[in-house]
Each structure stands twice: as structure tokens, then as C-alpha cells.
Amino acid sequence: MVLWLTGLPGSGKTALADRLYEYLSGKGLKVARLDGDVLRATFPETGFTREERIRHVRRAGELAAKSEKDRAIVIASLISPHREARSYARSICESFVEIYVKASLATCEKRDPKGLYKKARRGEIKNFTGIDDPYEEPEKPDIVIPTDELTLDQSFELLREFVDRRLKNAESGM
């Protein structure tokens, strides 16, 4: 299964994905982790235009699909701002689970863990999602984690319970 966490920068995707990876690995499951920032470091030519972002998410989707075929549970955390790219990833994965890590722009700007929103507001970063590049919210996510309403622990607990149910259903063939 591919657990795809999408949301604005600073919404909590990476923090939740890291906790989920530790949790599932701790249960002895085969887990693969894909993170948008890590992938960008691996493929440094990846830019931030709409076309480059779509290509980046498609590439991540292909990596996720390959890992899924190798029987891993894939945890992918990418902004993945465009529905078109997320739809492609869904289409090539056997069991794609879209997890919308939802936080308001104001909350994400307040958190701003990397100082990127401030740079984007000053014009130092162009095509920044949520500021001068749109984020297309998922239309029918499998679950919404409202991280601006919940603590990190509460958000993780909601995600953990959801994933445990999905795993149980997958084991029983449902």
C-alpha cells in the first residue's frame, strides 16, 4: 500500500510520516519512506514550475509503485500541489491511500519551520506553494488530518488508527 501524505508546506506531513515510519517499522513491517525534500536533493535539477512539480510527483509515484510491488508499505510525504500529478500516482499504484494533512495557510506560515514562507513573502522564493503557486486540495481524500486543530500527538493517533484499520482490512482481504 502507498500512504501518500499531501498538504501545504509546514502542515506536518514530514513529522507525521516520520512517526508513522517508526511505528510501522517497529511492528516488523517492510516500510519504504519517500520525502519530497529528500527526492529533490537526489534529483537536484528538479525545479518549481508547474511542469517540474508534476514531473517530480510523477517520479515519486513511480518510485512508490515500484516499492509497493516489492511488497513494501510506502509512506510518501510530498506537497504534491496538483491533483493531476496525485491522480497519476494513484493510477499506477495498486493501493493508493491519499492522506490530506490539512492546515490553513495562516497556521503553516506561523509554524514556518524552514523560514520559507517569510522568504516567499519577501519575493526571495518564486513559485512557492500557497503564496504565488496554488495548492489544489484533494477532492476525495481517504482521510483528512486537521493538523491546525490537533496536536502532533493527536494527529498521529488519528493517522495511526486509520492505517491500522487499513492494514487489518488488507490482511483479511477486504
Domain positions in the chain are: 2-102+134-169
pLDDT of residue 149: 96
Active site residue 172: no
**Catalytic one among 80, 87, 95, 172?**
80
Strands of the sheet containing 31-35, edge to edge, are 31-35, 73-77, 2-6, 96-102, 143-146
pLDDT tens per residue across span 143-158:
999 999 999 999 999 9
Query: What CATH class has 2-102+134-169?
Result: alpha beta
Check: CB of residue 127 under 8 Å from CB of residue 48.
yes
Would you say 46 and 56 are in contact if contact means Cβ atoms under 8 Å apart?
yes
Q: What is the pLDDT of residue 43?
A: 80
